[in-house]
Amino acid sequence: METRIVKGEEGLQEAASLIKSGELVVFPTETVYGLGANAFDENAVKKIFIAKGRPQDNPLIVHISSLEEVSRLAKDIPDLFYTLANKFMPGPITIVLNKSENVPDIVTAGGKTVGIRMPSNPIANKLIAMSCPIAAPSANKSKHISPTKAEHVYDDLKGEVPLILDGGECEYGIESTVLDLTTDAPTVLRPGAVTIEMLQEVIGDVYVNNKVIKIAKSPGMKYTHYAPKCSCVVAISPESARKCYEEKEKEGFNPVLVYRDIYRDIIHPSEFNFISLGITIEQYEHNIYAALREAEEKYDFIIVENLKEEGLGASVMNRVNKASSNNKV
Ligand code: AMP
Ligand code: MG
């Protein structure tokens, strides 16, 4: 199959037709690129799992363009959902609700709950409004780093999808916050740009579950995600980063530092390989996946900056710790 990349606005009509006829389309969102299919079409959704090589017990998120669509997808919707939706939707949050019978089991990996998200990206929003609710995971090969540019998607999925809508770089750069409202207390299953602190301000106590859970309540959480193709470690200090770099070089590796610019002068003798994550934590979030993809292409040992695990730093490090399999130096 030929895979075409078309500028978002120009490709919208064609993309909506493809979705409606049961085909896959890659579309930009404010978090990462999504690999979408009509959420009500079981056969179309099956193609997502095949294209990605995704295990069938890992659920997808259903993307909507208006809150009116929620009652078709979910049942027993608590008031808290609408309180949160008012505050954070459209935006980088997925809320898990009890699924309605309209949603095919394949979307939820056989589970009784469905993750619902309303993207703020205008291309995503228009595509959904022009077609239907769209089930999608990130548009990368299973277990690889999520794509934040159309070229990342092309590298992973060329030949597997007919159309990639190019919307430029994703605004946030890491996947959505996933909040489960189907248990006794609201529980964060995956931190993201909507931070724990932001949620607490609106709803008070929030439970956090960063750990891999053994009983498959959320099958998605069993899998390691976001892994680069070569070794990757987090350096807890600039000194340990420099030491690790020098050691790896002696061992014959071609290492690279993936850091924000403020550390350039501290650990960056001019001959060190360096990929910049920008200046602020928001820029770190925006740039990290593209930096990891660039690093795995050009080098063979990645040393990444550590962030304090609070606020957005906690969400970003959730991904970086997975990318590094929790290896710290
Ligand atoms: P991706 O954004 O590619 O990681 O795919 C969607 C992710 O959303 C899954 O891996 C899960 O972590 C999460 N998710 C989707 N649906 C549910 C659900 N019903 N319950 C819990 N988590 C979900
Ligand atoms: Mg993913």
Q: Which atom of ligand 1 is nearest to the CA of 32?
A: 2
* pLDDT attached to residue 271: 82
Q: Quote the ligand 2 centre to 226 CA distance (angstroms).
A: 7
User: Please, which contacts does 74-79 make with residues 24 or more away whose CB atoms are closer than 8 Å?
Assistant: 74/98, 74/99, 74/100, 74/114, 74/116, 75/99, 75/100, 78/181
Helix (H, G, I), strand (E, B) or coil at 244: helix
Q: Which atom of ligand 1 is nearest to the CA of 223?
A: 10
**Helix segments in the chain, DSSP class H:** 8-20, 42-52, 70-73, 79-88, 122-130, 150-157, 196-203, 238-250, 264-267, 281-298, 312-323
* CA dist., res. 167 & res. 288, Å (int): 18
Q: What percent of the chain shows pLDDT beyond 90?
A: 88
What is the CB < 6 Å shell around ligand 1?
Answer: 58-61, 94, 96, 108, 111, 113-115, 137-138, 175, 178, 189-190, 218, 220-221
Q: Are strands 207-208 and 163-166 parallel, antiparallel or unpaired?
A: unpaired
- pLDDT digit string, tens, across residues 254-306: 999 999 998 887 776 678 999 999 999 999 999 999 999 999 999 999 999 99
Average pLDDT rounded to a whole number, residues 30-47: 98
List the end-to-end C-alpha distance of the chain, in Å, as a whole number: 44
- pLDDT digit string, tens, across residues 141-191: 999 999 999 999 999 999 999 999 999 999 999 999 999 999 988 999 999
The residue whose C-alpha atom lies closest to atom 11 belonging to ligand 1 is: 220
Domain 231-323 has CATH 3.40.50.11030: yes
* pLDDT attached to residue 221: 57
Q: Which atom of ligand 1 is nearest to the CA of 61?
A: 15
- pLDDT digit string, tens, across residues 182-224: 998 899 999 999 999 999 999 888 888 654 333 334 444 555 5
Q: Quote the ligand 2 centre to 92 CA distance (angstroms).
A: 14
Half-sphere exposure of 136 toward its Cβ, with a 13 Å CA cutoff? 34
Q: What's the token pair of residue 25?
A: 């389309």
The residue whose C-alpha atom lies closest to atom 12 belonging to ligand 1 is: 220
Extents of the domains making up the chain: 4-208, 231-323
Mean pLDDT, rounded, of the chain: 93
Average pLDDT rounded to a whole number, residues 29-45: 98
**225 pLDDT more than 80:** no
**11 pLDDT more than 60:** yes
Burial (CB < 10 A; 0-12, 13-18, 19+), residue 194, is buried
Q: Quote the ligand 2 centre to 146 CA distance (angstroms).
A: 6
* CA dist., res. 57 & res. 76, Å (int): 24
Cis ω before 90 (30° cut-off from 0): yes
**132 pLDDT more than 70:** yes
Ligand with minimal distance to 223 CA: 1
* CA dist., res. 257 & res. 304, Å (int): 6
Angle between helix 8-20 and helix 122-130 axes, rounded to 10 deg: 30
Angle between helix 196-203 and helix 79-88 axes, rounded to 10 deg: 130
The residue whose C-alpha atom lies closest to atom 5 belonging to ligand 1 is: 137
Ligand with minimal distance to 227 CA: 2
Q: Which atom of ligand 1 is nearest to the CA of 114?
A: 19
- Where does 4-208 sit in CATH, by number? 3.90.870.10
- What is the best residue among 32, 141, 178, 187 to mutate for testing ligand 1's pocket, by most ligand atoms within 8 Å of CB? 178
The candidate with the shortest Cα–Cα distance to 108, out of 45, 30, 66, 178, is: 45
Strand runs labelled E in 170-244: 177-180, 187-190, 207-208, 231-235
In the structure, ligand 2 is a single-atom ion and the residues with CB under 5 Å from it are 137-138
The candidate with the shortest Cα–Cα distance to 67, out of 55, 54, 83, 53, is: 83
Average pLDDT rounded to a whole number, residues 127-145: 98
| 319 pLDDT tier (thresholds 50, 70, 90) | very high
The candidate with the shortest Cα–Cα distance to 160, out of 19, 25, 33, is: 25
Ligand with minimal distance to 221 CA: 1
Residue 208, sorted as left (phi over 0), alpha (psi -120 to 50) or beta, turns out to be beta
Q: Which atom of ligand 1 is nearest to the CA of 113?
A: 19
* pLDDT attached to residue 226: 74
